[in-house]
Each structure stands twice: as C-alpha cells, then as structure tokens.
Structure 1
Amino acid sequence: MMNKSLLFLFMLFSSPFAQASLVQLFKDEQGKTNWQYVANWSSGILIIILSIVITTLFFTWLKARRYNRELEAIRSDLEQRVEERTATLKESNQLLEKEIAQHVITTNLLRSSESYISSILKSMPLMLIGLNKAGQITQWNQRAEDISGIPADAALGKDLWDTYPGITVSPNQINRAREQNETINIKQSQSGLYYFDITIYPLQDQTETGVVILIDDVTRKTLADNMLIHNDKLSSMGELAATMAHDINTPLQAILFDLTSYQSQLRKNAALRDEAQNNPELDRLSSLLTDASEKGRHVASIINNLLSFARGRIDKKQPALLSDIMEHALGLARDVLSSHERLKFRDIRIERDYEDNLPSIDCYVVELQQVFLNLFRHAYDALLNTTHPEQEPVIRIQLTQCYDALWIKIQHNGKGLTSEEQMYLFEPFFSNQPDGEDYDAGKRLSFCYFVITEQHQGHMAVTSDLEIGTTFHMQLDLK
C-alpha cells in the first residue's frame, strides 16, 4: 500500500504539469521564490508521506501479526502432526522391533529344532530312509550311510532301488503301505548271519503321500536271546540227561547183573555146557545172552556219557587242549557208536594230524566234546551208508594253529551231502511228521553250529561231495 502511494506521489510531482504549477506556487508577486512556502509545503508533503508510511506500516504490522498467528497455528499443527507421526512411527518401530525379535526367536527355535531333529536322525541306531511318491529318496540318515556305504549327497533325490540295489524292501511293499495307509512290519533273517526288523509307514497330512522305512539291525539282540534260550535248553538237557540216566541205569544194572549171573551159571554147569555143544538152541541162547550183555554195556556207556555231560557242564569257560578234548570224544565214540553189526566205530581207521605245541584255549569243554561226538556220529552214519562199501572207512582229524586261531578239520570218506542237505545242515529241525514216522536227528547239526559260532564266537562250515565224502571246518579264536 505504501509503495503504491509513494509511487503515485512520485508520478504526480514528476509530471511536467505538476512541476509548472509548483514553481508558480512558490513565487511571490515580484516573481521571487518564496522559500517560506517551499518549506511549509515540503513539511506538509513530508508529514503526509510519513502519515501514509506509518499507516501503511501499521496495516502491514497487523497483516504480519495475523500471518504470524496463522504461521504459529500452522507450525503448532505441523508440530502436532510431526509428534503424532513420530509417535506412530515410534510405535510402528516398536512393533517392528517386537516382530523382528519374535522372528529371530522363531528362527532360532526353528534352527534349533532342525539341528535337534538332524542330530536325532544322525544318531539313530536304525537305518532311516524317506521316500516320496515317485520312490525317490528324501531322507538318508547316518546309519543308512554306514550300512550302505552310500553318502547322503549321492542318495538324496535318487531312486531307491537304483541307488541301493541291495535293499531287501520291494516296491510292492512300499505301494501297499501307501495305498492301504497302514504300517507294515517285516522280519527278515538269515540264520546265524543277520536279523532285521523292517517297518514301513506312510506319512500323514502331506500333500504328496510319502513313506518312511525303518530298518533295525537286531542281530546282536537276537543272537543274545538265542544264546539265553540255548543255555536254558542246555541246562534243561543236563537235568533231563541226569534224570534219565539215573532212571534207566538202575533197571539196566539189574538186567546186566541177571545176564552175567545166567552166563556164569551156564559156564559153571558142565552138563548144560556139554548139552549146549550138541544142542544148537542152547548155543544160540548163549550167543543171544552174550549179545544182550554187549548191548547192555553199550547202553551203560551211553548213560555214562549222559551223566558226564550233566555233571561236567559248567557255565564258565576253562582252559583246555583241543587234542585232549578230541581224544576224549573219540573214546566216547568208540563206546557209544558200536551198535551196528556191520561196522563199529572202533573199526574205523582214525588218521590224526595234530600240530605240535598247540596252545590251550578257553572253552566249554563238555560242549565241545559233544560237538566232536556229534560230528563223529554224523561221519559214522555216512560211512555206514557209503556208496563204496569196498573201501576202508577213514576219518581224518587235523588240528592246526594259524595266526590267532585254531583250525579243526574232521573229514570222512563216507556218503557225501547233497547241496540241499548242506544248506539246511546247521538249521534247527522241527518235526511235523506223524507219530508212526521217525526222523534221524543226526542229520542236523544245529547244536554243533550253535556251540562253535555262538558260545565260542567261532566259525563252522561244511564242504562235501557225494562220491568223495565230507569235511567239517571249524575255527576258534585264541583271544
């Protein structure tokens, strides 16, 4: 406003007309300049200008004051908005910090859970294999690596049967567990070598149905259970043998005493002796009495063997020489295996090949004697049924030391074993035949196999040829 007023005055006084009028105004009648008028007029003009300026400044101040109040209001509003926005951002930051902290905690828990689960899978004594619908491996734990020899990196994502052809689980079993949505338990074993418990179960609440295979190697547990069972059986056998021996021995000794008394009376009575020489019936009766006495003594030796087994068995190993155990078993065989008229065990030629200075071995002496006696009985039956009766029956025994083990070979030249007989020779026999039929238990050597492999942690095998004969191989560790 002030600027406009000053501009107006400036233009007014700067015009030629205004300048001419002003000049005339400041002159007197004589045409001289009246400086008093000039001063008065200039003062009036200055007062007017100052008044205009003051008025303009006043209104400008009012306007500025109003603008300041508006600016203050705007600033207060902005400050309030800033404070609200800052508070909102602070609250958002706090929430974000809480979410981040919770996310960190959750991440740590997930990482810890993942590490825990991974540690569990790695430490599991079971072989764990995860499969998807296509039969591809999704899980392959440390035990699976140890048993298969295949690292997890080479197995994951690959087909199970292409990666590990030796696995005994079939695709049909996997499909059956997935389709029926039920757990399948499978037991697989090869007697004396391994025992596996296999569990196949489908995964629940999965978009793509998968399965998990758990393979538990229960070989040690099964062998330990079998050891306990066999030890119980041996204890029961010892008790039963002792009972039977005592029950049979009393009437047997009475029968042998009667037979001996009758033979003694027959020899003392001269009349009967002369009549027996002329009477074939009495001579036959005398032969029958002699044969009955011999068979009775044979039964007595069997009973003594049963008593020896019952009394001599102990639950702890003791040091002994294999040659002494073998010779004692041969002595028992000569007494026990003599019932057949065509061939008696004492008539078989025994070839010994014992290495000098063999060390003693910690063993169950009675059980090893029964093992060797059973093998001699098996050889005796094979020599009785030989396809070459004209050849001399021979049993060869070899005892040698090789490094930290003793090797035992018992060979005979009797009838050999077929492939099927060799396969099941060491398997237990459970008869389901009718009562009228009989089975020769000597054809199975499961007791011998158990004593050698389980009680003495050794090895036992058989090689045979139908025409040449059979050889039993045994290895017992000295340590």
Structure 2
Amino acid sequence: MKKLLALIALASLSMSAYADIFAVFREADGSTKWQYVANTTASVLIISLVIALIFLIRAHLRSMRANRALTDIKATLEDRVANRTAVLQATTEQLVEREAYIASIVNSMPVMLIGLNQQLHITQWNKKAEEITGRPIKDVVGKNLWEAYAAITLTQEQVKSVLESGETLTLKHAQRGQYSFDITLYPLDNHADTGLVILISDVTKQVNAENKVAERDKVSAMGELASAMAYDISLPMQTILSRVTRARQELEAADLGEVKEFLLQEVETVRLSAHQATAIAQNLLDLAGSHRDSKQLADVPPIMDRSIALATDLFTDADSLAFKHINIRRNYASPLPQIPCFPAELEQVFVRLMRNSFYALNAKTWDDNNKPWINIEIGEFYDSLWIKIEHNGKCLSPSEQLDIFQPFFAITNHESTCPVEQRLSYSYFIITDHHRGQMAVTSDEQYGTCFNIQLALS
C-alpha cells in the first residue's frame, strides 16, 4: 500500500513536466487514439487488480495465520479450562468426602455435640443430640440454643464467658442415683462461624460402676470394722456375764438381810445390760456379713417381724422404758408380693427406725391414759410396696426433719439440730441407693411421727 501511494505521488509530481499528459493518446491531427486508450486502461486495470489480488492474498494468509493462532489458543484454553475443571471437581469431591467423613465421625460420637456461633445460634447438632432432644438438625440449625433445647443445664453467662475468655470450661450435672453428665465447652480459633463446641457426655453408667466399687470397698471395710468391734465387745461381755452369774449365785446363798433384794436387783440390771451389749455385738456381726452382690426375692413382713424381735433384745433403758413394753400394732395387707431386695439391709433399716422410735418414746412421760405405741403398716399401692412406721413419741422439729437423713459432716449451711446418734443417713442410703426407693418423714404434735418407705415391686 505504501508503494502504491508513492507511485501516485510520483505521477502527480511528474505531471508538471509535460505540457499535455494526454498527448500520447492523440494522433497528429488531434484525433484520439481510442485503441491505445483502451489498451492503456485495460493494462492499468489489470495491474490494479493484480495489486489488489496480491494484497488480498497477503491479507488472507495473515488471517489464516491469525486463525491458526486463535485455534491454538482456543485449544490451549479449552485444555486449561478442562484441567482446571477436573481439578476443581476433584477438590470438590475430596471436600465432600471429607465433610461426609467428619460428619460421620461427629454423628457416631456417643456424646451430645452442639456447635454455636458468636450469636449463640446452633451450627452443629449430631445424631446423639437428636436422640436426646428428639429434634432433628433441620429444626434447630440457626436457632438460639435455649429456644431449641430449653432443658440444657447451661446458662448464657457461662457460654459467653467461654467465648470471651477463650478457655475450656468443664461442668458436672448429676442427680444422685439417677443420672450424671459431664459438660465441656471448647472455644474454637475460627470465631467467624462456630464460636465454640459443647460436648455433653452421659457418664451415668460409669459413675454408677465407680460408686458400686467404692460402695463395695466401703462395705467391706465397714464389715471388717464391725466384726472387730463385735469381737472386742463380746470378750468383756462374756466376762461380765460370767461374773454377774457367779455373783448372783453367791448373793442368793448369802444372808444379807434387807440389802440382799437391792443387790440382786442391781445384779439383774447389770446382767440385762450385758445381755443387751451382747445382742448389739451380735447385730454388728450380722451386719458385717449381710451384704450381697445381688438382690433376692423376699417377703417384707417376716423381715419386719425379725427386726421387731431384734429391737426387743437391743433396746432397753434400765431406768425407764423397755422396747418389749411398747404396744406394737401390726397392720400387714394380705396377700403381699415378694420384692427384690437385700433382706439383711432392710432389717437394719427397720431396726434403726425402731431405735429412733424407742428413744423418741423414752423422751416423753407416760401414764395410764397415755401409753406408748408404734404402728406399723405394710401395703401394696400400684407398682410399689409402702411401709409406714408411726409412733406417738417426741416429735421432730422442722430442722430435725431436714437433718435426720443427712450425714453429720454434710450439714454446713446451718447449725446441727439432730443428734448424730439419731440420724438415719445410712438407712436412707440403703433405701434410695441400694433399693432405688424413697424415704420420708412427717412429724407434728397432733398426729405423731411417721416414717414412710416406698419400694419398687420389680
């Protein structure tokens, strides 16, 4: 194109060198050489067409090269896009697999897992959480934790303190003999979505197993101690009984006048006290060997009768009331089913209740119009066996009613009002822990004192 423009410019400049540039197309007489004009015009046109053709061929070749380059670029881009798509697809599949793997791990955990964000809204909720709460994940995601699970034993202040401090918090929630939970709050580094994770572990079986082991060791140690005490008590008691028997024989043979009757009475009192101490020692031996690893079916009324007979041997006040002089009213429903229990332990519970009733009755003054009595009722009500032991002795104050089932060392929030020797914490432990029952007391001046025991039939 540049050369063509140069030729046109050169032709324009050379026009001035000729007087008449068209002279070559005229004859001498001035007529036009049409044939020459036609030939010249055709030549110029052919030359122009050839030049145009050359330019078109060059443009075509250039466009072909450009098209080949574009085709190569397109093929390269397609390969790159295909490779990138394959990589992204593989990465996506890996992410999906990892997410599914993590989700399966979370859902297979035997603990309740809850994820929360900074707004305390639920982001994670595993299968165990669904089982415990009865709510699927789709119903709780995005909701406030306490709206989704109002029964959770956590406060918003506790959760917010973990989010603010970034420190793990471990809590325990338990109801003795019923359930035990470990609650752990883990703050996470990524606070944009999930601020913390809450793990709630049901450790009831573990705690119960540990308690059974500790209880077995405790009972074993107590049995060993009781056996040693009973043995130590029985030795001097045997000596006392033998000496008292010999002294009584010598007093009966001696002539001591009026003082003889007094001395015989005193010796008899000592003999009865020694006999009572021997019965106490024997009861300790029975208690030491009473515990069993498994329950057995037994009738409660015979256990109660044996307890009353044992209380008659154990409880005698030389200067006041003897248990055998108390009017025992027995009201046993018939028939009564057998229940799974530890008979020796129930016997100890009943003896302890008789002892408590005995000392309460001794704390009052009696006359012919007002006699001491103990009323015992045993009956069946729905799926439970109910035992009621009632007496008309000295009533328990409201504070004593609160303290009587508590161990002495556990009373820290108020001054102790119930004497240690009158407490029934071990009896309460036997009923509630060993037999999964219930035990309560009511007491007032009008109706007297009543101990109520509920035991399951199965």
Unaligned runs of 5+ in 1: 1-11, 19-44
Residue 94 (structure 1) aligned with residue 79 (structure 2): yes
- 1:64-93 CA distances to partner (integer Å, 9 max, x unpaired)? 6x8777666655554444343333323322
Structure 1 counterpart of 2:362, one-letter code: L
Structure 2 counterpart of 1:278, one-letter code: E
Q: Is the 8 A contact 1:126 1:216 kept in 2?
A: yes
Q: 1:346 to 1:387 in 2, by over 3 A?
A: closer
- 1:28-79 CA distances to partner (integer Å, 9 max, x unpaired)? xxxxxxxxxxxxxxxxx9xx99x969x9699959966x87776666555544
Structure 2 CA distance for aligned equivalents of residues 194 and 58 of structure 1: 112
Structure 1 counterpart of 2:390, one-letter code: Q
Q: CA deviation at 1:302?
A: 0.9
Q: Is the 8 A contact 1:415 1:466 kept in 2?
A: no
Residue 366 (structure 1) aligned with residue 344 (structure 2): yes
Structure 2 counterpart of 1:476, one-letter code: L
Residue 354 (structure 1) aligned with residue 339 (structure 2): no
Q: Is the 8 A contact 2:439 2:454 kept in 1?
A: no
Q: 1:278 aligns with which of 234, 255, 258?
A: 258
Structure 2 counterpart of 1:239, one-letter code: E
- 1:174-229 CA distances to partner (integer Å, 9 max, x unpaired)? 34333333222233444344433332343323248934443334334323322221
Secondary structure of the structure 2 residue equivalent to 1:430? helix
Count of aligned pairs between the two proteins: 425
Tell me the residue number matched to 1:240.
225
Q: Is the 8 A contact 2:437 2:456 kept in 1?
A: no
Tell me the residue number matched to 2:268.
290
Residue 205 (structure 1) aligned with residue 190 (structure 2): yes
Tell me the residue number matched to 1:477.
456
Structure 2 counterpart of 1:307, one-letter code: L
Q: CA deviation at 1:321?
A: 1.7
**109-118 or 176-185, which deviates more:** 109-118
Q: How does 1:169-248 map to 2 (within 5 A)?
A: 169-207=154-192, 210-248=195-233
- 1:94-124 CA distances to partner (integer Å, 9 max, x unpaired)? 3222322332333333334444444444454
- 1:155-179 CA distances to partner (integer Å, 9 max, x unpaired)? 5545555665554433443343333
Tell me the residue number matched to 1:444.
423
Tell me the residue number matched to 2:297.
319
Q: 1:387 to 1:297 in 2, by over 3 A?
A: closer
Tell me the residue number matched to 2:8.
none
- 1:402-454 CA distances to partner (integer Å, 9 max, x unpaired)? 44443333333334445554445444443799xxx998444433333333333
Q: 1:383 to 1:118 in 2, by over 3 A?
A: farther
Q: 1:255 aligns with which of 240, 248, 256?
A: 240
Structure 2 CA distance for aligned equivalents of residues 112 and 386 of structure 1: 80
Tell me the residue number matched to 1:265.
250
Query: What is the RMSD of the two structures over their aligned residues, measured on CA atoms?
Result: 4.1
Tell me the residue number matched to 1:300.
278
Structure 2 CA distance for aligned equivalents of residues 403 and 161 of structure 1: 37
Structure 1 CA distance for aligned equivalents of residues 60 and 334 of structure 2: 116
Secondary structure of the structure 1 residue equivalent to 2:289? helix
Structure 1 CA distance for aligned equivalents of residues 399 and 133 of structure 2: 31
Tell me the residue number matched to 2:319.
341
Q: Is the 8 A contact 1:227 1:455 kept in 2?
A: no
Q: CA deviation at 1:296?
A: 0.6
Structure 2 CA distance for aligned equivalents of residues 417 and 381 of structure 1: 12
- 1:234-277 CA distances to partner (integer Å, 9 max, x unpaired)? 122222222222222122212211111111111123x2xxx2x3
Q: CA deviation at 1:146?
A: 5.3
Structure 2 counterpart of 1:398, one-letter code: E
Q: 1:407 aligns with which of 373, 386, 392?
A: 386
Q: Is the 8 A contact 1:184 1:200 kept in 2?
A: yes
Secondary structure of the structure 1 residue equivalent to 2:292? coil
Q: 1:238 to 1:382 in 2, by over 3 A?
A: same
Residue 310 (structure 1) aligned with residue 288 (structure 2): yes
Structure 2 counterpart of 1:372, one-letter code: F
Unaligned runs of 5+ in 2: 1-25
Tell me the residue number matched to 1:37.
none
Tell me the residue number matched to 1:40.
none
